[in-house]
A and B are shown apart, each in its own frame.
Chain A
């Protein structure tokens, strides 16, 4: 008497669900495989190989190349540049985004116009923005020097002075990122219940106390998101650097991605570039993890 054996075999629920999910997941999985997973694995693989000056002949060198990357002073320099760049752009775009979002949060007639203007930079491409800033920053005919000159500030060679090149590119990048930051922070602001402010007012909180005790805590998940994305953007920035400075002057704007590009496509050292890319990947991964761990402590989710 084997009753169980008589019953038709049933697929496990897990398998059934997976089969049902497959058609939905497959298209994006295919894209991810071709454009993300395969290049990632290939980069790690290439990182273990040295490339000859003509970009051919892959020779297995093991972890030597990774060690070279981590110990080279050039790489350390570009890491510092990238760090500075991330610091400037994240603080700049999050801070400015918060400020602009607070400005346009209130309901006033015509506010929609300002919301559109403040968030419009999200719609302009890196290339267009960079060319525009190339003109604005031009030491001779640029608007920036003209305006500063009106205020008595001496003109600067924004893109050719090693002291100013990175801040100038950071400024450009902040301008490019601030639209997205403003949109996201504005959405966060509009999710804060009005009653919390009313309650705080009755409790005796002035505008500043309301901002500190109601707005900022309620906005903390949004600010975390904006700054995390900002860090990732900063570590991936390439277009504006290629167009504005090409890593110069004196490597003062050679961020990691630009260094990877230079190794791979100007020096044809694909192996070294791949090793750098993998190190960059690990750094961004670690940074994001650190941010989320910090968030456990500081960010409040309702």
Chain B
């Protein structure tokens, strides 16, 4: 059931767009393919749709090998980035088009179209043409065209990227509701990690045509598989410090040029198993705190830094800190007082350090 990629690869001339891509999407699951542009996510989706032929590997939909089937025989529906509505057809005809192509009887077609339109609040717009609709309405027509056919899977290629920020947030919620109602397998391509984190039941992070990690949003955020995922996920981005491991009677430390980190026992035992002499320590901005505010907490590291830029976001503060000329970002509560230009003492709480092997870039665990 669901959708499965089995060692799918795709080359465009010399460029490898997708390399040995294997991914299983459960029946009814909302899977997000996330990655920077050129990472192969759209290629993967188009191969699943049948719009692109894989150079190798197989694609399964609902347990059936569809690798050699044309798009229309795969029983899928696709929502395109700029909607791809038929400009000369009314909203009604746009939604009905797929059903007409499948020769659904007229009365049945009519009730299906009206049902889909009602689900998306398009009842009053059925006679309009796409040119007379706003971006958000067009987006919903594109969704209507997809859901009306009750396909085995929805494929969505950055469907929210042409909407303004407010509408995007709204449509995100509508999509989550829609998926909850329909329970149809969905594969959703985006480069926007907020969309991925909020909508995906699982996220597949991709880079350079390769799958980097598959997991729940929480998994991906808290236990990134490698340096790429760690850096790509999270805004502001994680900070990294590289230095040699030192094992002494007092415990295991990582002595980077800027900051010395003391590992807690669990991290220490992980660090002891690695053959690497050096490790990379990753710290999320929210785990850097003002030492004066949290003097009672144990700390893995304490350091002085000059507050370079303070960005007040209302609910929180992003402060760019300078340590010996290198800037890192930390996230503080809005009620904390940091003055631009002042030098403050900061600390990092122990359990939040992530350790990576710089040679393989994989996280140590």
Contacts and interface: CB of A to CB of B under 8 A. Distances in A.
A and B interact physically: yes
Interface of A: 193, 195-196, 198-206, 209, 213-214, 217-218, 220, 300, 302
10 contacts: A193-B82, A196-B84, A199-B84, A200-B86, A202-B72, A203-B145, A204-B72, A204-B102, A220-B88, A300-B87
B84 A204 contact: no
Contacts, number: 65
Interface residues of B, number: 24
B328 interface: no
A107 to B, nearest CB: 14
A300 B88 contact: yes
A61 B141 CA distance: 66
Given A195-B82, A302-B131, A202 B87 contact: no
Given A201-B71, A213-B97, A302 B87 contact: yes
Contacts of B80: 195, 198-199
A218 B87 contact: yes
Return the 7 tightest CB-CB contacts between A and B, nearest first: A204-B101, A203-B98, A199-B84, A195-B84, A204-B72, A300-B88, A217-B88
Given A195-B82, A213-B97, A201 B88 contact: no
A202 B86 contact: no
B102 A201 contact: no
At the interface, is chain B mostly helix, strand, loop or mixed? loop
A198 B88 contact: no
B183 to A, nearest CB: 21
Contacts of B160: none
A104 to B, nearest CB: 23
A201 B72 contact: yes
Nearest to A196: B84
User: Which DSSP category, helix, strand, loop or mixed, fits chain A's interface?
Assistant: helix
A175 to B, nearest CB: 32
B49 interface: yes
B112 interface: no
Given A209-B101, A302-B131, A201 B84 contact: no
Contacts of A202: 49-51, 71-72, 76-78, 98
B101 A217 contact: no
Given A199-B84, A217-B87, 10 more contacts: A193-B82, A196-B86, A198-B49, A198-B84, A199-B78, A202-B98, A203-B77, A204-B72, A204-B101, A204-B102
Contacts of B77: 202-203
A218 B88 contact: yes
B277 interface: no
Contact of B70 (A201, A214, A302): A201
